[in-house]
């Protein structure tokens, strides 16, 4: 129980009057070490294609990404997460391009590790950038998402990325049992040090729209939904069950997605399990704040505040498209 503190014996503003005091009593610190930059990659050379719904974000060819990696390392950002945008001709109902050893993502991983071995690489494990129907899972003739058949494809994708040199594989599909199957396969093939970052509590959110445009899955998905595998935004207890299952199957890190709209979920998971817990500030959350900043309705500090909120709720790591700008901010300012 908090002590009975009353004015004027207690003046809480005394702790806010001077910058050095505010710094000393600061409860939550945002660091560049907390930041992970999601990157969209595309085929070709010298490609930097702006994504209209995500101000400041581009699809980059691997050569352009390598140029960016130097700044990422110089700023001290510890890791990037790779998301591919592939040609429509490579998309099939079974998404088999996801585990093509000569595909875009394995090539990107190999090149980054060759030139920047110190930079952590997180590989997204999901089929939606590769399927002609835009779903994260395989489907039958009735449009039903096939859980167990999808797991087999995800295992192949995870192994493909691990062989290319990914430090972390991150299943983002929300199929039941995929963490255990991937962990078993990694162990059997000698990738015992490869981490699994599980999108353990990924909600069927309306805030993924810009991302789906970025990876080219929105047109293929059409009006279809992902409610049969992504979580109901109304549910909280269910997230704890998802996390418990993924941890029991071998996940090293769990993640909440979206982040800013689900701070209560993030807090509950961190308090309940006390394991490394990440949050993803998703494309829609990023886009709406950036739009307000560009229109002069908010300042840059609004984005920083949104990241601090994720830290305060319990995030150990934050995936944000604002990572570069946030790192520059942290380098030059005290918050």
- Residue among 202, 226, 270, 311 flagged as catalytic: 202
Contacts of 24 (CB under 8 A, 6+ apart): none
Please calculate the CA angle 142-148-152 and round it to the nearest 5 degrees: 115
**Residues 279 and 318: beta-carbon distance below 8 Å:** yes
290, two tokens: 């950036």
Which of these, 327, 294, 309, 194, lies nearest to 258 by C-alpha position? 309
**Residues 139 and 232: beta-carbon distance below 8 Å:** no
Cα 90 to Cα 136: distance, rounded to the nearest angstrom: 16
Contacts of 282 (CB under 8 A, 6+ apart): 205, 207, 208, 211, 257, 258, 259
State how beta strands 48-50 and 58-61 pair: antiparallel
Place of tokens 């500030």: 281
- Residue among 91, 226, 257, 270 flagged as catalytic: 257
Q: Is 198 helix (H, G, I), strand (E, B) or coil?
A: strand
Please calculate the CA angle 298-303-307 and round it to the nearest 5 degrees: 150
Q: What's the maximum distance between 2 C-alpha atoms anywhere in the chain?
A: 72
Cα 25 to Cα 118: distance, rounded to the nearest angstrom: 34
Place of tokens 């995936």: 319
**What ranges in 42-196 are assigned the alpha helix state H?**
62-75, 104-115, 147-164, 178-188
Is 257 designated active site? yes
**Residues 204 and 230: beta-carbon distance below 8 Å:** yes
The torsion angles phi and psi of 100, rounded to 5 degrees, stand at -80, 115
DSSP type of residue 231: B
Is 270 designated active site? no
- Annotated catalytic residues are 202, 257
């Amino acid at each position: 129980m908090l002590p009975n503190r009353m004015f004027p014996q207690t003046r809480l503003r005394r702790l806010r009057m001077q910058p050095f005091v505010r710094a000393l009593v600061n409860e939550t610190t945002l660091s560049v070490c907390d930041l992970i930059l999601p990157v969209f990659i595309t085929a070709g050379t010298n490609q930097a294609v702006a994504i209209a719904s995500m101000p400041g974000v581009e699809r980059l060819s691997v050569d352009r990404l390598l140029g960016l990696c130097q700044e990422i390392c110089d700023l001290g950002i510890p890791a990037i997460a790779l998301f591919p945008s592939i040609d429509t001709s490579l998309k099939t109902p079974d998404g088999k391009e996801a585990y093509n050893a000569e595909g875009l993502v394995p090539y990107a991983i190999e090149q980054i590790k060759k030139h920047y071995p110190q930079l952590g690489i997180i590989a997204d494990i999901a089929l939606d950038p590769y399927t002609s129907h835009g779903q994260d899972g395989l489907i039958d003739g009735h449009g039903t998402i096939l859980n167990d058949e999808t797991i087999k494809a995800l295992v192949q994708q995870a192994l493909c990325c691990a062989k290319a040199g990914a430090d972390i594989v991150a299943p983002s599909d929300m199929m039941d049992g995929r963490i255990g199957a991937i962990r078993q396969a990694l162990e059997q093939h000698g990738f015992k040090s490869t981490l699994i970052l599980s999108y353990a509590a990924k909600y069927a959110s309306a805030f993924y729209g810009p991302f789906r445009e970025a990876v080219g899955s929105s047109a293929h998905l059409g009006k279809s939904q992902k409610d049969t595998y992504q979580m109901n935004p109304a549910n909280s207890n269910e997230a704890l069950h998802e996390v418990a299952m993924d941890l029991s199957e071998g996940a090293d890190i769990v993640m909440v997605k979206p982040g800013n709209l689900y701070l209560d979920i993030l807090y509950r998971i961190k308090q309940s399990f006390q394991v490394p817990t990440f949050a993803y500030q998703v494309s829609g959350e990023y886009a709406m704040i950036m739009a307000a900043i560009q229109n002069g309705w908010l300042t840059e500090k609004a984005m920083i505040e949104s990241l601090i909120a994720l830290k305060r709720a319990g995030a150990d790591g934050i995936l944000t498209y604002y990572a570069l700008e946030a790192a520059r901010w942290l380098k030059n300012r005290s918050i």
